[in-house]
């Protein structure tokens, strides 16, 4: 044996050992690796799953080392928040569809059953894969006819935050809610991993008053703005423990709009897009992250500031769901005569909006059936007048469980804004 053979032999032995170790690890780590007929599970010990507020992760089976998923495109009856529900389309009974989770390097097989009355496809948005698996109807595959099941199979080459959505009759299918998040965890995580890892899909809907179905023909005038297809107060809060490393992955599949998502109480870092990780030296500190439609943005922060922190789109029309935008502007108008006259024809009629719009959500104001115009939700200090793309990051010192809403933040004595006293105004020289 010469030196080269010795080296080769050594390398081969090392490689064989590595393979054996890999197989052992795979057997150890892969859930039900040999149980092809076993029940589907959403537990994969190789990673801490993401939390999809108001949603879930898609269960899977391991079959001969391949992670097998089954998506079912179908109509779903969806509640946006108490007071508004509609006939939508989604996957596996929900909009957005369940989050798909895998690990970098995983071979996956994803069956897609079409239970709609028109064809569909699924595009794996941002994933690097063979062209024939890209899910673009007409370009890379025949659309999936109603009643049929298609098979997608590929390997996730990169970790990251991605999305899935139809690429057939896109305008209709996405306007009705067909979309979902797709998270690929790193095979070898580097550095501190998040304690809480959230996935939130942003979308927008046109649901005219009295209608039972979102209108896919709308291009500009969206009146229901959602996180994971929920409008506040239907949005579940993000519950974290003080000191947690928190990652929030946003996807946006809105028809038209980009959403600048603003988080109170923190400066966060924008760490990744659906194109990959941003190098640490280029990670931008910010308090608002613009999530363009058709893109993902990932932010991270250390939850060192306890409290109830608003997290919302900063486009004001996106945090106050409304009936529509074709109403006359009543602000400052004095209309007692007109109101009296209208009341003769419409008993109980009120001219709304004369003193601003926040009043419109008060609980005793009558609103049309199945609508949530500026309804808002309850808060620790009365009503929160926002109602759309709005949720709350709840950071607590003591938490018994991430799964329970810890209620409202108990502010330390003397740390809440309150009416100024006459003595304080005088002492500071402020005249009112």
Residue 318 sits in the site that holds Cu ion (CB under 5 A): yes
Interface region with Cu ion, contact rule CB under 5 A, candidates 25-33, 283-291, 314-322, 350-358: 314-322
Contact 368, 321 (CB under 8 A): no
Nearer of residues 165 and 259 to Cu ion, judged by Cβ: 259
Residue 254 neighbours by CB under 8 Å, 6+ apart = 202, 203, 204, 222, 293
Q: Which of 63, 79, 209, 315 binds Cu ion (CB under 5 A)?
A: 315
Q: Strand 284-286 and strand 295-302: pairing?
A: unpaired
| Token representation of residue 89 | 């389309």
Cβ atoms within 10 Å of 162's Cβ, excluding its own: 22
In the complex, what is the shortest distance from the CB of residue 315 to Cu ion, in angstroms, rounded to a whole number?
4
* Residue matched to tokens 């029940």: 39
Q: Which of residues 278 and 290 has its CB atom nearest to Cu ion in the complex?
A: 290
Q: How far is the CB of 26 from Cu ion (least distance, A)?
A: 43
259 binds Cu ion (CB under 5 A): yes
CA geometry: angle at 128 spanning 102 and 159, to 5°? 40
Q: In terms of CB distance, is 290 or 399 closer to Cu ion? A: 290
DSSP letter string, 256-302: S--EEEEETT--EEEEEETTEEPPGGGPEEESEEEE-TTEEEEEEEE
Applying CB under 5 A, the site for Cu ion has a residue count of 4
Q: Which residue lies nearer to Cu ion by CB, 241 or 318?
A: 318
Q: Which is nearer to Cu ion, 199 or 289 (CB)?
A: 289
Q: CB of residue 260 vs Cu ion: minimum separation in angstroms?
A: 7
Q: Is 313 near Cu ion (CB under 5 A)?
A: yes
Toward Cu ion, which CB reaches closer, 100 or 311? 311
Q: Which stretch in 159-167, 207-215, 318-326, 418-426 sits in contact with Cu ion by CB under 5 A? A: 318-326
Q: Based on the shown chain and the rule CB under 5 A, indicate whether residue 297 belongs to the binding site for Cu ion.
A: no
Main-chain phi, psi angles of 94, to 5 degrees? -145, 155
In three-state secondary structure terms, 163 is: strand
Q: Whole-number minimum distance, CB 91 to Cu ion, in Å?
A: 23
Q: Which is nearer to Cu ion, 32 or 273 (CB)?
A: 273
Choices 51-59, 255-263, 404-412, 424-432; region in contact with Cu ion by CB under 5 A: 255-263
Separation of alpha carbons 272 and 262, rounded Å: 17
The owner of tokens 């009543």 is 330
Binding stretches for Cu ion (CB under 5 A): 259, 313, 315, 318
């Amino acid at each position: 044996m010469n030196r080269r053979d010795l080296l080769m032999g050594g390398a081969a032995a090392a490689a064989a050992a590595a393979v054996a170790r890999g197989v052992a690890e795979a057997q150890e780590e892969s859930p039900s690796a040999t149980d092809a007929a076993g029940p589907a599970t959403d537990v994969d010990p190789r990673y801490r799953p993401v939390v999809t507020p108001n949603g879930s992760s898609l269960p899977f089976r391991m079959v001969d080392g391949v992670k097998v998923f089954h998506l079912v495109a179908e109509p779903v009856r969806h509640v946006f928040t108490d007071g508004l529900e509609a006939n939508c389309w989604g996957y596996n009974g929900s909009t957005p569809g369940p989050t798909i989770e895998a690990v970098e390097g995983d071979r996956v097989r994803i069956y897609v059953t079409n239970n709609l009355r028109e064809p569909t496809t699924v595009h794996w948005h941002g994933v690097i894969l063979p062209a024939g698996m890209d899910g673009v109807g007409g370009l890379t595959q025949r659309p999936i006819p109603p009643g049929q099941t298609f098979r997608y199979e590929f390997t996730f080459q990169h970790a990251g935050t991605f999305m899935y959505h139809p690429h057939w009759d896109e305008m209709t299918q996405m306007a009705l809610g067909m979309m979902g998040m797709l998270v690929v965890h790193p095979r070898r995580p580097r550095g501190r991993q998040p304690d809480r890892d959230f996935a939130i899909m942003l979308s927008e809907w046109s649901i005219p008053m009295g209608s039972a179905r979102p209108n896919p023909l709308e291009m500009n005038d969206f009146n229901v703005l959602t996180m994971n297809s929920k409008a506040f107060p239907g949005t579940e809060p993000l519950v974290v423990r003080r000191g947690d490393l928190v990652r929030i992955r946003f996807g946006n599949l809105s028809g038209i709009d980009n959403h600048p998502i603003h988080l109170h109480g923190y400066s966060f870092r924008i760490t990744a897009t659906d194109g990959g990780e941003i190098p640490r030296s280029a990670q931008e500190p910010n308090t608002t992250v613009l999530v363009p439609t058709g893109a993902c943005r990932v932010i991270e922060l250390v939850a060192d500031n306890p409290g109830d922190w608003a997290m919302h789109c900063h486009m004001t029309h996106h945090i106050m769901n409304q009936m529509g935008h074709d109403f006359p502007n009543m602000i400052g108008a004095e209309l007692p005569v007109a109101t009296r006259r209208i009341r003769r024809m419409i008993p109980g009629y009120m001219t709304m909006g004369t003193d601003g719009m926040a009043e419109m959500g008060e609980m005793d104001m009558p609103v049309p059936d199945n609508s949530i115009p500026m309804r808002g939700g309850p808060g620790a200090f009365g009503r929160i007048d926002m109602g759309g793309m709005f949720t709350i990051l709840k950071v607590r010192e003591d938490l018994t469980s991430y799964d329970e809403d810890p209620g409202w933040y108990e502010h330390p004595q003397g740390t809440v804004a309150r009416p100024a006293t006459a003595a304080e105004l005088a002492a500071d020289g402020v005249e009112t």
